Chains A and B, each alone.
Chain A
Amino acid sequence: MNQNEPLHVPEHDTAPAPLTVYGERIASRLLLGTARYPSPQVMSDAVRASGAGIVTVSLRREQARGRTGARFLDLVSALPVRLLPNTAGCRTPREAITTAEMARELLETDWIKLEVIANDDTLQPDLIGLVEAATELVQRGFKVFPYMTEDLSIAERLVAAGCRVLMPWGSPIGTGRGLANPEALKTLRAYFPDLPLVIDAGIGAPSHAATAMEMGYDAVLLNTAVARAQDPVRMATAFAAAIAAGRTAFDAGLIEPSDRARPSTPVAGTPFFDLDPPAPP
C-alpha cells in the first residue's frame, strides 16, 4: 500500500441521532444551564461552544426601574437554542404552578422544567408536591420536564400524569458528585425503554456525563460543572464531546463486563505452546 495514500475514513455519519422531546427534534443531547458563569459573555460563548439545543432559565423578581431581565432575555434570545424555563426555588405546587404560568407568558413556551424543592440542604425534590404540580400543569396544557429523584414509583405517577420526559438527578444540585445511584438509574432506564430520560443535576465531570449516556440515558442537563470551570468555554466543548461519545458508544452496543479474563489475541498459533509451563518460583 502506498504510504502516501490517506487512511480510509468511513463515509457514513457517526453522529448520534437527535434527541426527541415532546415531538421536537433537538440536535444536541446536552442541555445547559445559564447560571453561575463569570460573565454574560462567557455564558453565551459556552452555550455556543457546547452545541446545546436547549438552555434553562429562571424567573426572578425584576428590579424596580431595572432592565436586568430584559437584557438577559435579549442575550439568550440571540442564542440558537430553545429556552426551558424552570421553577427553581419553588417549595409548593402552588408556587411552581404560578411560576410556570408566568414563564409561559414571558417566554412564550409551554415547556417547563418543574422543580418543587423539599429541603434547603439537599435541594432534593419534594416528590409528592412534584406529582401534584405536574398533574395540574399537564391539565393546563404544559409540557412538563420534571426534576425528580431516581424513584421508580414516582416516575410511574409522573408518566400517568402526562409527563413525556423524566429528569432524574445524578446527585444533588451543584455537588458535582456524578451518578450517586447508578443501579437505580439503570433500573429506571430499563423500566422505561422508550421514554426520554435526562440526567439532571450533580454532574461534575465529562466522564459522569459519558457514563450516563453509555447507560442509555437520552440526554444530560448540567450547569455548574461548566459555569464554574476555570475555562467554561473549553469545558463546554469537553462535555459536548463526552456526551456524543457516550451516546455513540450506547448506539454501538457495549460489551458485557466479565468476571474472567479472556485473551484478546487469538490463542491458536501461539508459539512455544508445546513447551513445559514455567516452574513456579
Chain B
Amino acid sequence: MTAIDTRRRSLTVNGTPVRAVAATLAALVAEQGFAGVKVATALNGTFVPERLRAETPLADGDRIEILSARQGG
C-alpha cells in the first residue's frame, strides 16, 4: 500500500513559482483550475499528451507549461 503523498512540490507553472500538492501532471492541471478546460501541457519543454498526464509524476524543480489557443498571425 502506498502512503498518500501530501508533500508540496516547488514547481514553475507558466513561468510562475508554485507550491503544489499535486503529485501528477493531471492533478496539477486540476489544482490550477483547469479541470474540464481544453489546454495542452508540456513538462520541462517536452509535450505531454492529455492521456499521459495522470501517469506523469511531478518532482521539485519541474517546469510546466499549460497553454490554450489565442490570437495569432
Q: Which residues of A contact B (CB under 8 A)?
A: 33-37, 43, 56-62, 64-65, 67-70, 72-73, 76, 83, 85-86, 88, 94-95, 98-99, 101-103, 105-107, 173, 201, 223-224
- Within B43-73, which residues are at the interface with A (CB < 8 Å)? 45-47, 49-50, 65-73
User: Which residue of chain B is the closest to A101 with respect to CB atoms?
Assistant: B47
Closest Cβ–Cβ distance, residue B11 to chain A (whole Å): 13
* A65-B33, A69-B39, A105-B49 as given contacts; A60 in contact with B73, CB under 8 Å: no
Decide: A88 and B73 in contact? CB cutoff 8 A: yes
Alpha-carbon gap, A95 to B45, bound state (A):
7
Closest Cβ–Cβ distance, residue A84 to chain B (whole Å): 9
- The A interface is mostly helix, strand or loop, or mixed, namely mixed
Complex interface: chain A residues within 8 A of B33 (CB):
64-65
Closest Cβ–Cβ distance, residue A168 to chain B (whole Å): 16
Complex interface: chain A residues within 8 A of B10 (CB):
none
Complex interface: chain A residues within 8 A of B46 (CB):
98
User: Which residue of chain B is the closest to A223 with respect to CB atoms?
Assistant: B73
Decide: B45 and A59 in contact? CB cutoff 8 A: no
Q: Which residues of B contact A (CB under 8 A)?
A: 13-16, 32-34, 37-42, 45-47, 49-50, 65-73
Decide: B72 and A73 in contact? CB cutoff 8 A: no
Alpha-carbon gap, A60 to B40, bound state (A):
10
Other A-B pairs, 16, CB within 8 Å; known A60-B68, A106-B38: A35-B72, A35-B73, A56-B73, A57-B71, A59-B69, A60-B67, A60-B70, A62-B39, A64-B14, A70-B37, A73-B69, A98-B46, A101-B47, A102-B40, A103-B40, A105-B50
Alpha-carbon gap, A58 to B70, bound state (A):
5
Complex interface: chain A residues within 8 A of B13 (CB):
64
Decide: B73 and A68 in contact? CB cutoff 8 A: no
Decide: B72 and A61 in contact? CB cutoff 8 A: no
Closest Cβ–Cβ distance, residue A198 to chain B (whole Å): 13
Decide: B32 and A36 in contact? CB cutoff 8 A: no
Alpha-carbon gap, A216 to B25, bound state (A):
49
Complex interface: chain A residues within 8 A of B67 (CB):
59-62, 69, 99, 102, 106
Decide: B39 and A106 in contact? CB cutoff 8 A: yes
Alpha-carbon gap, A72 to B67, bound state (A):
13
Alpha-carbon gap, A85 to B40, bound state (A):
13
Complex interface: chain A residues within 8 A of B42 (CB):
98, 102
Complex interface: chain B residues within 8 A of A94 (CB):
45
List 26 A–B pairs whose Cβ atoms lie within 8 Å, in order of A's numbering: A33-B72, A56-B72, A58-B69, A58-B70, A59-B40, A60-B70, A61-B14, A64-B14, A64-B16, A64-B33, A65-B32, A65-B34, A69-B38, A69-B67, A69-B70, A70-B37, A70-B38, A72-B70, A73-B38, A85-B69, A88-B72, A95-B45, A98-B42, A102-B41, A105-B40, A224-B73
